[in-house]
Amino acid sequence: MPAAAIIKQRLKELNMTQTELAKAMGTTRQNFNNKMARDNFSTQELCQIGEILAFDVVIKTSKEEYPITY
């Protein structure tokens, strides 16, 4: 599942808008919406979004999970 789809789903669960998330991240609504449209986030941005939306970013293999933190 693309990151943007996961973010949209989590926003819906939390009854939060993309504009509110952009503000919490310290970016503009337009910049955030562009990133969502392109599904183009840095790992650091995904971790920041995860902190705001209460989810973890991990690399998962068949045997292990490696949480990514900044």
Collapsed DSSP state (helix, strand, coil) of residue 56: coil
What is the domain partition of the chain in residue ranges? 3-67
Which residue type, as a one-letter code, is found at position 35?
K
In the Cβ-directed half-sphere of 5, how many Cα atoms lie within 13 Å?
2
What is this structure's pTM? 0.90
Residue 70 — very low, low, confident or very high, per pLDDT cuts 50/70/90?
confident
Q: Over pLDDT 90: what percentage of the chain?
A: 94
pLDDT tens profile 11-30: 999 999 999 999 999 999 99
User: Under CATH, to which class is 3-67 assigned?
Assistant: mainly alpha
Collapsed DSSP state (helix, strand, coil) of residue 50: helix
DSSP bridge pairs for 59: 66
